[in-house]
Structure 1
Amino acid sequence: MIVITGATGQLGRLVIAALLKTTPASNIVAAVRNLDKAKDLADLGVQVRYADYNQPASWDAALAGASKVLLISSSEIGQRFVQHRTVVDAAKRANVQLLAYTSVLHADTSPLGLAAEHLATEQYLAKADVPFAILRHGWYTENYTGSLAASIAHGTLYGSAGDGKIASASRADYALADATVLTTENQAGKIYELAGDSAYTLTELAAEVSKQTGKTIHYVNLPEPEYQALLVKIGLPDAFAHLIADSDTGASKGALYDNSKQLTQLIGRATTPLAELVAAAI
């Protein structure tokens, strides 16, 4: 039995969709905080169980009978490590055969601020006496394409990534890789650096959007504090604006680049091209 945490999130749903192509729905458990949001998964035959990162007592029942667990990292910055530790401890009590964790690209050397909690989780896993695999996700292309509407409307794409290369891939690409690890034997102890086949700068992203829309889109590079202030001005919470601006600055230092092609090797095909994802977004 395979348990997916955070199963109603964007990544979790895609992982379950990928698993359903090879795994009976009855062998998949969606561990969720809100049962109502998982009704569609239950209708597919997936087992839906209540589990809350902030309710440690909920995890023993959620992981009962589990052979493998995908721990999808929490979205609550600053609370992630404690929440992840709760799941790892429960997985140990459940004697799972494998716990796969979605970390961040090059977590042990990354300059990204968000890498600290990922690395702490990896280090805890290494000491927890639980068979584990680390799935170090690079950037999702949707992190950029999801907000292209404003750039197209104003003719400007803002960021603070400079000329940093971003080897992103679609969220579905990463989900398929996660599902592959969960359904492949002998994964314990493996660490995967997962990124897209090709990389681009934000200037090149702006050029691609320009090409597809027929409207000139300029990339404007801002110092990190100015970019963060702009994000706050348009309505993002301070903490989230800081995360985005910090990640862009990290990209300028190579944090979002990797050319090992491990993602392609796992999924057995090329990662989804930037042009295709831009087309879908616009």
Structure 2
Amino acid sequence: MSIVVTGATGHLGQLIVTSLLKRGVPATEIVALGRNPDRLAELSGRGVTVRQADYDDPGSLRAAFAGAEKLMFVSGSEVGRRVTQHRNVVTAARQGGVGLVVYTSIAKADTSSLVLATEHRLTEQEIIASGLPYTFLRNSWYLENYLPQLPAYLEHGVVGAAGDGRISAATRADFADAAAEVLTGDGHTNQVYELGGDAFTLAELAAEVAKQSGHEVTYTDLPVATYVEVLVGAGLPEEYAKVLADGDRGAAAGDLHVESDDLAKLIGRPPVTLAEAIRAAL
């Protein structure tokens, strides 16, 4: 068996490889891909095969997928370019006869109003049209989207535009464990999993930070346009700020609230909670 993991230089991809190794998959049966193989030296040192691959280079993808039984397709990070990049991946997988494509999508990809969901929705359609066996892992937000902001929360409070929308965030490690289960278990072919942890509002996030830190922390809800201005004022590029603010708008609309317990079922335990994650980060 050969499991090829794309984006292995990124946080999620690297965690997926680590989870596979913890599950007893021999390192010789795992292929880790990245644009810069030098960044995969640690995995190479553990016996994992390392190959160069670039979503913009179809030739590199065909070579990297050689002999792959299963492809862990971690979605690209370049918003606005992913439709073409992902099509290159799907084409190379089809040409290489990959037996299963496991794709990291977004929560409710088929109905979500999020700007980020469009490229995921089109990629899912591309994979289905290719005829390749697939599993879609529709991940909600990462808890790590919030944890690095704890110092700012303690100083300025939590600011956003999510209203009272509930967000089913989970840790990258939990999402990675779910992916590893799908790659090594049975019965996942042509399945769609809606993955998320215990849901919370941004007001509840602020309250939990306040409770555990002993500081006063409140949530300030802003109109989306105002929130974009705040993010730009904090130094973020405008286009990136708009994407982040749209995430909050989508959260307010319920796009990031996952009601299924697919994540817990796949990893065989309750996902890490917001309170646990904040406690560890503090």
Deviations 1:176-219 (A, max 9, x none): 001110111232211111111x2111011000000111000010
Give the whole-Å Cα distance in 2 for the aligned partners of 1:216 and 1:128.
53
Within a 5 Å distance, the mapping from 1:28-39 to structure 2 comes to 28-39=30-41
Give the whole-Å Cα distance in 1 for the aligned partners of 2:193 and 2:33.
24
Q: Provide the aligned C-alpha RMSD in A.
A: 0.9
Give the whole-Å Cα distance in 1 for the aligned partners of 2:233 and 2:43.
37
Query: What is the aligned partner in structure 2 of residue 214 from structure 1?
Result: 214
Query: What is the aligned partner in structure 1 of residue 74 from structure 2?
Result: 72
Within a 5 Å distance, the mapping from 1:241-256 to structure 2 comes to 241-256=241-256
- Answering whether residue 276 of structure 2 is matched by residue 276 of structure 1, we say yes
Q: How far off is 1:273 after superposition? A: 1.1
Q: How far off is 1:147 after superposition? A: 1.5
Gaps of 5+ in 1: none
Query: What is the aligned partner in structure 2 of residue 52 from structure 1?
Result: 54
Q: How far off is 1:236 after superposition? A: 1.4
Amino acid of the structure 2 residue aligned with 1:71: F
Q: How far off is 1:123 after superposition? A: 0.5
Gaps of 5+ in 2: none
Within a 5 Å distance, the mapping from 1:1-282 to structure 2 comes to 1-21=2-22, 22-154=24-156, 156-196=157-197, 198-282=198-282
Q: How far off is 1:58 after superposition? A: 0.4
SS at match of 2:17: helix
Deviations 1:45-75 (A, max 9, x none): 1110000011111011101110000110100
Give the whole-Å Cα distance in 2 for the aligned partners of 1:251 and 1:186.
31
Q: How far off is 1:120 after superposition? A: 0.3
Give the whole-Å Cα distance in 2 for the aligned partners of 1:223 and 1:86.
38
Give the whole-Å Cα distance in 1 for the aligned partners of 2:120 and 2:227.
24
SS at match of 2:76: coil
More deviation in 181-190 or 219-228?
Answer: 181-190
TM-score with structure 1 length normalisation? 0.97
SS at match of 1:169: coil
Give the whole-Å Cα distance in 1 for the aligned partners of 2:276 and 2:187.
34
TM-score with structure 2 length normalisation? 0.97
Deviations 1:72-97 (A, max 9, x none): 01000000111111111111111111
Amino acid of the structure 2 residue aligned with 1:214: G
Deviations 1:215-258 (A, max 9, x none): 00010001111111111111112222111100011000101101
SS at match of 2:146: helix
SS at match of 1:177: helix
Give the whole-Å Cα distance in 2 for the aligned partners of 1:13 and 1:169.
17
Amino acid of the structure 1 residue aligned with 2:78: E
Q: How far off is 1:280 after superposition? A: 2.2
Identity, in percent, stands at 49
SS at match of 1:74: coil
SS at match of 2:114: coil
Give the whole-Å Cα distance in 1 for the aligned partners of 2:31 and 2:238.
35
Give the whole-Å Cα distance in 1 for the aligned partners of 2:232 and 2:47.
42
Amino acid of the structure 1 residue aligned with 2:204: E
Give the whole-Å Cα distance in 2 for the aligned partners of 1:100 and 1:58.
19
Poorly superposed stretches of 4+, deviation over 4 Å: none
Give the whole-Å Cα distance in 1 for the aligned partners of 2:229 and 2:31.
41
Amino acid of the structure 2 residue aligned with 1:264: A
Deviations 1:128-186 (A, max 9, x none): 021111110011111112212111122x1100000001111111110000111011123
